[in-house]
Amino acid sequence: MESRIFIFTGKGGVGKTSTAAAHAVRSAREGADTLLVSADMAHNLGDIFQVEADGKVREIAPRLSILELDPYDLMREEYPQINRTIGNLSGSAGLGIDRIGDSFMIPGLENLFSLLKIRDLYLSGEYARIFVDCAPTGETLSLLKLPELLSWYVEKFSPVGRFMTRALTPVAKLRYHMELPDNAAMDEFGQTYRKLLKLQEILKDPDITRVRLVCTPERMVVEETRRSYMYLNLYHYAVDSVFINRVLPAETGNDFMDRWSRIQQQYIAELESVFTDLPVTKIPWFAEEVQGMEAVERLCDDALADPDLFDRPVRGDNEFYTPIEGGYSLTVRIPGAEQEQVQVTLHELDLDIRIRNYVRSIPLPGVLRGAEMTDHQIRDGALVVSFRLRENRETEK
């Protein structure tokens, strides 16, 4: 069985944890070695299963284990060199965060250590399926864009080689009043960079990692789910399912609840019209809170009976280049984005795409060095950016 990672995200309070837990129970029942991981600092796996969770892998049923990640423990015990390396890099770039201790975490890096641990658990081959219960949407997007952002940062600010480091150090000291990394630090940068690239490779491979959106049929949640789908595609993550939680039956026998049910049906119809290319699963609203193994198993039986639950189709064409006359075009699938929302800027070999407060910097291939961006348009749910190569510009002149 090919190992997979399933990431669950959605607005706070929509039932991500219970949905992820039901997936994990179903997986273990099938005989797959399964790990359910909480990457949300407000852990509640222990509450869902009514067991003690202490930050270590704990088996709670045959082939089913849980783990609540503590990024501070991970930094100190498993990845202290990563924190030091990025701190040294920050100092070398003039940001003043060098010579940090093992107990100090650079603000914003806590998510990185959780991701590195998930990567190592996947590479261990010990589990056939890893289910990740993430924090609410905004924090999840910050989590998922971090590896690419840090890779870009390391690539831009670390020296390209030992020779350049030796040659530039005296100049850097006199002109910029900063220290460039020494040879030992360069080795650390190289190791960190390789780890970040491998992390990106795992997270952005649709054959390995899938993102699943959990929501409820409410106006604000519908809008946030739609935006989440757009941003996840912007950062090149494969979304393969939508789960609508807490769905009332059509007839409840209560006038107030029946009116609420009709309102829900309007939002469900809207979600189904938005996610026409994804399977949409409805999870009923249970009379009792989902707590304890018996309750999770009931949710599993009532809502997750799909035989293809762990092998749903996913698009593999979210981002690709196409030869065009005089150059190339880059297509980035961003469903739901509108032309006026999207800003595109070319900086040498980096293409910046901004949608509201979210920016992704895409490193372009060397063949586009010196190319001119001639056009960018939203077409059929995708951003298409056109480039004219330098030699073609010179020929036209």
**Contact predicate 76/102, CB 8 Å:** yes
Number of domains in the chain: 2
Mean pLDDT throughout 187-201? Answer: 73
pTM value is 0.85
More confident of the two residues 395 and 288: 288
In this predicted structure, the answer to whether residue 159 has a pLDDT above a threshold of 60 is no
Mean pLDDT throughout 67-76? Answer: 86
In this structure, the answer to whether residues 285 and 323 fall within a common structural domain is no
In this structure, the answer to whether residues 329 and 287 fall within a common structural domain is no
In this predicted structure, the answer to whether residue 316 has a pLDDT above a threshold of 70 is yes
Question: DSSP character for 366?
Answer: G
What is the reported pLDDT for 256?
A: 92
Question: Per residue in 103-126, is it b (16+ CB within 10 Å) or e — as a string?
Answer: eebbeebbbbbbbbbbbebbeeee
In this structure, the answer to whether residues 298 and 344 fall within a common structural domain is no
What is the reported pLDDT for 372?
A: 95
In this structure, the answer to whether residues 194 and 147 fall within a common structural domain is yes
**Contact predicate 56/78, CB 8 Å:** no
More confident of the two residues 169 and 221: 221
**Residue 313 within any structural domain of the chain:** no
**Residue 309 within any structural domain of the chain:** no
In this structure, the answer to whether residues 24 and 76 fall within a common structural domain is yes
Output phi, psi for 374, to 5 deg.
-100, -20
In this structure, the answer to whether residues 294 and 324 fall within a common structural domain is no
In this predicted structure, the answer to whether residue 219 has a pLDDT above a threshold of 70 is yes
**Residue 139 within any structural domain of the chain:** yes
Contacts of 391 (CB under 8 A, 6+ apart): none
Residue 363's domain is classified under what CATH number?
2.60.40.790
Q: Which domain holds residue 332?
A: 319-396
Distance CA 299, CA 316 (A): 31
In this predicted structure, the answer to whether residue 317 has a pLDDT above a threshold of 60 is yes
Among 276, 303, 330, the domain-final residue is 303
Least confident of 4-8, 18-22, 119-123, 317-321: 317-321
More confident of the two residues 110 and 321: 321
Mean pLDDT throughout 293-318? Answer: 91
Task: At 5, list the tokens.
Answer: 């990672």
Closest CA to 287 of 299, 297, 300: 299
Residue 272's domain is classified under what CATH number?
3.40.50.300
**Residue 308 within any structural domain of the chain:** no
Q: What is residue 354's three-state secondary structure?
A: strand
In this structure, the answer to whether residues 93 and 200 fall within a common structural domain is yes
**Residue 229 within any structural domain of the chain:** yes
**Residue 195 within any structural domain of the chain:** yes
In this predicted structure, the answer to whether residue 309 has a pLDDT above a threshold of 90 is yes
In this structure, the answer to whether residues 232 and 366 fall within a common structural domain is no
In this predicted structure, the answer to whether residue 76 has a pLDDT above a threshold of 90 is no
What is the reported pLDDT for 195?
A: 77
**Residue 314 within any structural domain of the chain:** no
Q: What is residue 249's three-state secondary structure?
A: coil
Mean pLDDT throughout 333-356? Answer: 93
In this predicted structure, the answer to whether residue 251 has a pLDDT above a threshold of 70 is yes
**Most distant CA pair in the chain, distance:** 81
Question: DSSP character for 311?
Answer: S
Among 253, 271, 303, the domain-final residue is 303
More confident of the two residues 142 and 332: 332
**Residue 101 within any structural domain of the chain:** yes
Mean pLDDT throughout 330-357? Answer: 93
In this structure, the answer to whether residues 298 and 364 fall within a common structural domain is no
What is the reported pLDDT for 374?
A: 96
What is the reported pLDDT for 95?
A: 45
In this predicted structure, the answer to whether residue 8 has a pLDDT above a threshold of 90 is yes
What is the reported pLDDT for 289?
A: 85
Mean pLDDT throughout 82-108? Answer: 56
What is the reported pLDDT for 392?
A: 64
Task: At 210, list the tokens.
Answer: 């899938």
